Amino acid sequence: MEPAKKDKWLDVFIWTFVLLFFSISALRNEGNLLLSIAASGGIIFIMTVIGVLVELIIDALRNVKAVAVVMGFITNGPEAIVLIIGIITRDPLFGVSTPLGSNIINPVMFILAALSSGLLIKALKKDKDFLFLGIILTLFVALSFYLVPENFYPLWVIVSLVITLNLFQKKPNEEVKEKGKKTSKKLLIPTILLLILFGYFLDITVEFATQVSKTPKNLIGFLVLASLSSWPEFKSCLSFFKKGRLKSAKINIIVSGITNIWLAIIGVLFYVIFL
């Protein structure tokens, strides 16, 4: 199977997962099946547009030093949009559900990208910088949030911050620049404004999906939005794998995982202090 066809097949796989998720939820919870399918289509469309906008930002900043680190931050744009939505609507636990869910899905995206490029065995091999262990550690930090009682949230914030700051400090440097056609930096501000606009419509669509499928909003954030928002990580890792840059792909996922934890910390602090 050609790489382009593999990528398209994976696109269809994720979209099918979202459609099945809402359809099954509607049937189990006695919701409205047709409206749930429509809502899932709306979420897929909006998150796809958000993903495209994030890719435009990545292209505009492609020729910079430490591109893997930059891409690791920027590919968290969808998660940041969901967090902002959660804070504005005074539902920060919904806002943190997507970045935390992404940390669980990101390693899956990493493995899928490695598998798609035929480098799975090399990608899973032990490396001197223990990068893959760092990826797993950010996954467990995210999972730990759901294992602690609410009165331990401040402790989770402190421990998570210490771990992620340590990981970020110890990550290896990556100074290779990306070459090739890039988007004009003049489009950065309009692109960011469009991200915010589509974030507004995303909140409306998720609320609608919650009502018609009778699915908890936090579960939608943790599974559906996290899966769709992790797609830029797949794209960036696949790009690195195709160039044989396994180290860059791992750094990208680690920085993305660290950024997700930092986003979650912001949301949890808002919840603890203001709600």
User: Do residues 134 and 167 lie in contact, with contact meaning Cβ atoms separated by under 8 Å?
Assistant: yes
User: Do residues 249 and 110 lie in contact, with contact meaning Cβ atoms separated by under 8 Å?
Assistant: yes
Number of helical H runs and strand E runs in the chain: 13, 0
Structure tokens at 181: 């056609």
Q: At what angle do helices 33-60 and 67-74 cross, to 10 degrees?
A: 150
Q: Report how far residue 133's alpha carbon sits from residue 250's, in angstroms, rounded to the nearest whole number.
A: 10
Handedness of CA 128, 132, 134, 137 (dihedral sign): negative
Predicted confidence at residue 6, as pLDDT, reads: 53
Predicted confidence at residue 129, as pLDDT, reads: 60
Place of tokens 């959660």: 86
Predicted confidence at residue 2, as pLDDT, reads: 47
User: Do residues 50 and 81 lie in contact, with contact meaning Cβ atoms separated by under 8 Å?
Assistant: yes
Q: What is the pLDDT along the chain (275 residues), one digit of tens a residue?
A: 444 555 566 678 889 999 999 999 999 999 999 999 999 999 999 988 988 887 787 777 665 555 555 655 666 878 888 999 999 999 999 999 999 999 999 888 888 888 888 888 887 776 666 677 788 899 999 999 999 999 999 999 999 999 999 988 887 765 444 554 555 667 778 888 888 888 889 999 999 999 999 999 999 999 999 989 887 778 778 888 888 888 888 888 888 899 999 999 999 999 999 98
CA distances from 202 to 23, 61, 105, 205, 206 (A): 19, 26, 20, 5, 6
Q: Report how far residue 225's alpha carbon sits from residue 212's, in angstroms, rounded to the nearest whole number.
A: 17
CA distances from 65 to 25, 68, 159, 178 (A): 45, 9, 30, 8
Q: Report how far residue 230's alpha carbon sits from residue 51's, in angstroms, rounded to the nearest whole number.
A: 9
Predicted confidence at residue 207, as pLDDT, reads: 94
Cα 98 versus chain centre, distance: 7
